[in-house]
Structure 1
């Protein structure tokens, strides 16, 4: 049965090129006109050499994530032999994996799980130091190698950071460490990201991963390695070319409200970042947005709106690659505090969890595209 299926896929692949349909249009042309060609080829991607050589079958692996108050999303991995468990943020805005070490001297490590190298028979030490700075904190430590298990996948000889110091910020976090999902070029100290090793070790059926983030603290959030699931989105999956292969960076055409461009006039750069809670942008665009939604600063420096006005606020439209992606007030306003979920930053715009909760995201390393579709 398996070989019949493979034979059928090979024949189908050849039909895409060779068999014309009515009015001279091939099946490939028809699918392209209907906007379905890319999804079709991803589903039935066949190497012509498969007629002569065995096909190596990878997996699709689902890693559940906990939604902590719509502020962070984390899942459980294990490192070492026997496995030591850690909760980590799956962060598309960075590329390194690190967890606290038993050698950590910071108070931030004391209330989190710590990796004990001497308890793992497969651990390999190095003298290579590691230092990573994030927008909200930093860590320092050393690099080691060990077996890492993620979502049922076993990655061997994975480089990871053992934190010796952590910023106080991390003591308030519900997760132990971070697993970066951005490109190798962004990795500190030349470490190979976990996802790259998943692919190079033949663990995945496709060179991509996808993310669904639940809203309102609900369960069901997931990162899918090696595929994406149509049940998580509705409508058409739109594919956006990357403008840089460091972060998952794209070109944002504009930000508008009620038909008026209020930010990013003429285009700007943005990254899709699962590790950032809010939507962050450059000035004067963010100030324009706060003004457009009627937000003003309170005594704590937060931008807040009149709670009674939320239902009358219009969507804010992010136009990307010619397609409009509305974000409603119920998403860009914190419903508990009536505070704005926009903040200022430098460098590039950051479409964080506030945006991703509205749109199922496919991170396609094979083609260097982002796929976006409204959540189902």
Structure 2
């Protein structure tokens, strides 16, 4: 941080020298300092989802019958750090581990807390078609003495804990404990990303491992103990994870701050879900988790069934909520009331249009009264995750 301050002061001093001849120079320097010095930027790539790739191969329904959608699995396991078998995960960024660095694409997941990547010791199908970390090639690698098990809805990832230097957005986190996989669940073979980087709290981390962002704070690598996520509606580019700051270019209006109801996941209180002014779900209040690691908006089966019915969707033989693509312009908005504030999601955002038809972004999650506000919601609202105040900030995305 001292180095950053020195650089900033030097730039400001230089701006004063040139201010008379270049009137707008000072503003330019401060703008560059704010956006490029104090924030760690991680571009997020939106690739084809497992669902899309399997549909192209004509294998989607066979896959789904073998691996039922179980998005709530990660929130109702104990003793291990669970993840979901969501076939629609699509946003990922590139990090590197070791010296010299070995690169991996990872899903930045606010619904879990551990970092793990495939390793050369893994022979599962999921490891064979992903990049694998080789400890023997890193001079800064150290084995730990604990095993790691991460439960999925239809399988698990097992491996070992170790430590090494991890680079995220050009910033080096030293001595980060992470998992190297030995086995991985079959469905991971269909995912675009190699591994997972969890951004939730240490309280739910397997083996009480200190999460990557916590170490960034402890090592003085970020100026503020918060991060923010912008998911572009663009099909491929523009999404970004900003570590240590808030980028005003990604939203319009004021940020609404909502206190966490539980500092485990990024969990908040939801008051209701309404369509055309009518409460159709979460009557009397419920809990919701803002989760970048789930693509859909997920809720209890009965509530989601009611919501899908209200927007005009019907279930096909595989349990997927489909709509007539021509009806999208006339479909209603859905409003989520969070701690007394209304957040509206239009049909253009909650309907996914593919060459195979149009599907709603509302998924059934079982019988528990818990909701997951995933990427369908986050694309509409720039999300700020503040670890110090234990709150979430939401503002309308641009």
Task: Establish whether TM, by shorter chain, passes 0.5.
Answer: yes
Question: Residue 360 of structure 1 aligns with which residue?
Answer: 382
* Structure 2 segments unaligned to the other structure (5+ residues): 10-36, 50-87
Report the alpha carbon displacement of residue 218 of structure 1 after superposing the two structures with TM.
3.2
Question: Residue 117 of structure 1 aligns with which residue?
Answer: 135
Q: Deviations over 1:42-70 (max 9, x none)?
A: xxxxxxxxxxxxxxxx9420010101247
1:136–1:315 Cα change, 3 Å: farther
Report the alpha carbon displacement of residue 230 of structure 1 after superposing the two structures with TM.
0.5
State how far apart, in whole Å, the 1-side matches of 2:324 and 2:243 are. 41
Kept in 2, the 8 Å contact 1:69–1:217? The answer is no
Question: Residue 47 of structure 2 aligns with which residue?
Answer: 68
Instruction: State whether structure 2 residue 391 is matched by structure 1 residue 369.
Output: yes
Question: Residue 314 of structure 2 aligns with which residue?
Answer: 296
* Equivalent residues in 2 for 1:212-231, closer than 5 Å: 212-231=230-249
Instruction: State whether structure 2 residue 141 is matched by structure 1 residue 162.
Output: no
Instruction: State whether structure 2 residue 363 is matched by structure 1 residue 343.
Output: yes
RMSD: 1.6
Larger deviation, residues 63-72 vs 99-108: 63-72
Question: Residue 130 of structure 1 aligns with which residue?
Answer: 148
Instruction: State whether structure 2 residue 245 is matched by structure 1 residue 266.
Output: no
Larger deviation, residues 71-80 vs 253-262: 71-80
Question: Residue 255 of structure 1 aligns with which residue?
Answer: 273
Question: Residue 207 of structure 1 aligns with which residue?
Answer: 225
Kept in 2, the 8 Å contact 1:69–1:216? The answer is no
Question: Residue 36 of structure 1 aligns with which residue?
Answer: none
Kept in 1, the 8 Å contact 2:311–2:331? The answer is yes
1:355 match: secondary structure: helix
Q: What TM-score do the two structures reach when normalised by structure 1?
A: 0.83
Report the alpha carbon displacement of residue 138 of structure 1 after superposing the two structures with TM.
2.4
State how far apart, in whole Å, the 2-side matches of 1:301 and 1:364 are. 37
Q: Deviations over 1:302-339 (max 9, x none)?
A: 11112221111110000112111000111111122211
Report the alpha carbon displacement of residue 216 of structure 1 after superposing the two structures with TM.
4.0
State how far apart, in whole Å, the 2-side matches of 1:156 and 1:147 are. 4
Kept in 2, the 8 Å contact 1:137–1:170? The answer is no
* Equivalent residues in 2 for 1:275-314, closer than 5 Å: 275-314=293-332
1:147 match: secondary structure: strand
Larger deviation, residues 213-222 vs 80-89: 213-222
Q: How many pairs does the alignment contain?
A: 323
* Structure 1 segments unaligned to the other structure (5+ residues): 7-57
Q: Deviations over 1:208-242 (max 9, x none)?
A: 00000012413111100000101100011000000
Larger deviation, residues 121-130 vs 89-98: 121-130
Kept in 2, the 8 Å contact 1:332–1:341? The answer is yes
